[in-house]
Structure 1
Amino acid sequence: MEQDVRLTAWVRGRVQGVGFRWFTRARALEIGRLTGFASNLGDGRVQIVAEGPRDHCERLLDWLRTGDTPGRVDGVTEIWDTFRGGYRDFDIR
């Protein structure tokens, strides 16, 4: 059985004011078994924290990088960490 992980990603580009967080949440729910959040940062980036099976987190990360997102993604930086829990679902903050 695959172990759950935590993915934190920071997305830069034109990703605020274009529905990016909403679409990220919808994609996370479509992938399934992911909890966490998408949040706007003061510097114009969006931060995404996703917890769940690693392959599900990788699918979300791949989607963030494909360009099939609202707005314009100029780059994505991510870190992987151990699963912490504490999220009930995938929220927009």
Structure 2
Amino acid sequence: MKARLLRITGRVQGVGYRDWLVREATAAGLEGWVRNRTDGTVEALLSGEESAVGSILLAARRGPAAARVDRIEETFAPPPDEPGFHRRPTA
């Protein structure tokens, strides 16, 4: 199992990025969460099989059609405490 914490920068709020990521991550069988940050970024924790995490990382660089991803900061992280992939409140 592989877990990554992402900070996604660009036009990623107000364009459906979180809902899109929930659908993509759930379809890939990942666990974790996604939320908006008050600084305008999106933060996400992805956890699962290495190949699935890698696929979603590639997709996250494009995002949904209305988004513009400028940068993704990626760090190793512990896996989430709860099963499934969820949308969390803004932090």
Q: TM-score, normalised by structure 2?
A: 0.87
* Moved beyond 3 Å, runs of 4+: none
Distance 1:59 1:79 in 2: 16
Q: CA offset at residue 88 of structure 1?
A: 1.4
Task: State the TM-score, normalized to the length of structure 1.
Answer: 0.85
1:12 partner letter: T
Match of 2:53 among 47, 52, 57: 57
Percent sequence identity over aligned pairs: 29
Count of residues in correspondence between the two structures: 87
How far is the alpha carbon of 1:84 from its aligned partner? 3.3
CA distance in 2, matches of 1:90, 1:27: 10
Which ranges of structure 2 fall in alignment gaps of 5 or more residues? none
The partner residue of 2:4 within 3, 7, 11 is 7
Selected match of 1:25 from 22, 25, 43: 22
**DSSP-derived class of the 1:87 partner:** coil
User: Using the alignment, how far apart are the partners of 2:55 and 2:81 within structure 1?
Assistant: 22
Root-mean-square deviation (Å) = 1.3
Deviation digits for residues 30-83 of structure 1 (CA, Å, limit 9, x no counterpart): 112x11101000100000101111111111101011x242411111110123x4
